[in-house]
Amino acid sequence: MLITGADSLVGARVLQRLIEASCEVVGVTRTRASDVLPPGVIRVVADRTSGAWSDWAAGCCAAVHVGSGLGERPSDDSGCQGVGARDTAALIAACQRHGITRVLLVSCIGAAVDAASARQRAAWAAEETLRAAPLATTVLRAAWLAAPGPSLLARLADAVRAGRLVALYGGGHYPVQTVAADDVASAVARCLDDGDTAGRTSDLAGGTGVPFVEVVRRTAEAARQPARTAVVPRRFALPLVTLMQRRPAAVLTRDELLALWAGVTVDPTPGQAAFGPLASGLEPPPEFHRA
């Protein structure tokens, strides 16, 4: 099995499930420093947009194409690190070279050619690139990811625990629709075992959208600590968030704020009917907010 973005929140969880199922896995990552890959994985450190890693795809029966999802901030904050057209084209070339016909793409809700968010535009480009290829492709569009680590919800929890000020850009009433990264990985694994999902696109969300201010309130409640917030008028929001995202402890990036402002939500019912209950992560277990 081939997994690109094997060190992402979803990719690492898919990889773990495949290892537990005794599958041989080739994981393509951006950095050698990643510590999320367990023993037994063939790790390939490469630029996914090049064909330099394609030899490692030999012998793989299927490919999972995934990058940083909504709300997942790359550790080096080097711009959009989700799936896109260039790395998808490289994946297609590797699949065609080695006879891989089954591909599963983890995209995101709000993927559109005219999305304000670069990550959502890139996800749309990845979808369209795969749809034009002669491959049996399943697309899963995940909502904002909830998981420990570099997710928006985890960053928000860290800020609340530390007593830092949380900016409500434009008032904070835009909806946030979330899904647990573990449940997205489970959906990926189910699709890999079910060839009938080829050609389908499914939205994955743990519930309806919740205003960002309500997410802050729930996070503070789970952490048993009051949240310090400040409303930033919309006209000042983009310049300020662009400045603040340079700080390691920043809660939001500019691209994330643009995605939030777009307010895209989906009907969670079809995804839950296909894959069973999906957790939102907004009422996480105690260890999620443990200091």
What's the pTM value of the predicted model, to 2 decimals?
0.91
57-97 tens-digit pLDDT: 999 999 999 988 999 976 544 445 689 999 999 999 999 99
Question: How far apart (Å, rounded) are the C-alpha atoms in residues 97 and 73?
Answer: 32
Two tokens at 55?
């030899």
The answer to whether residues 207 and 269 touch, using CB atoms and an 8 Å cutoff, is: no
- Residue pointed to by tokens 């009051």: 226
| Alpha carbons within 13 A on the beta-carbon side of 196 | 1
155-170 tens-digit pLDDT: 999 999 999 999 999 9
Task: Sort 193 into a burial class: Cβ within 10 Å, 0-12 / 13-18 / 19+.
Answer: exposed
198-245 tens-digit pLDDT: 999 999 999 999 999 999 999 999 888 899 999 999 999 999 999 998
Q: Is the pLDDT of residue 271 over 70?
A: yes
CA distances from 263 to 117, 165, 173, 253 (A): 11, 23, 10, 16
Question: Which pLDDT does position 285 carry in this prediction?
Answer: 46
Average pLDDT across the chain, whole number: 89
116-131 tens-digit pLDDT: 999 999 999 999 999 9
Question: How far apart (Å, rounded) are the C-alpha atoms in residues 230 and 199?
Answer: 45
| Alpha carbons within 13 A on the beta-carbon side of 179 | 33
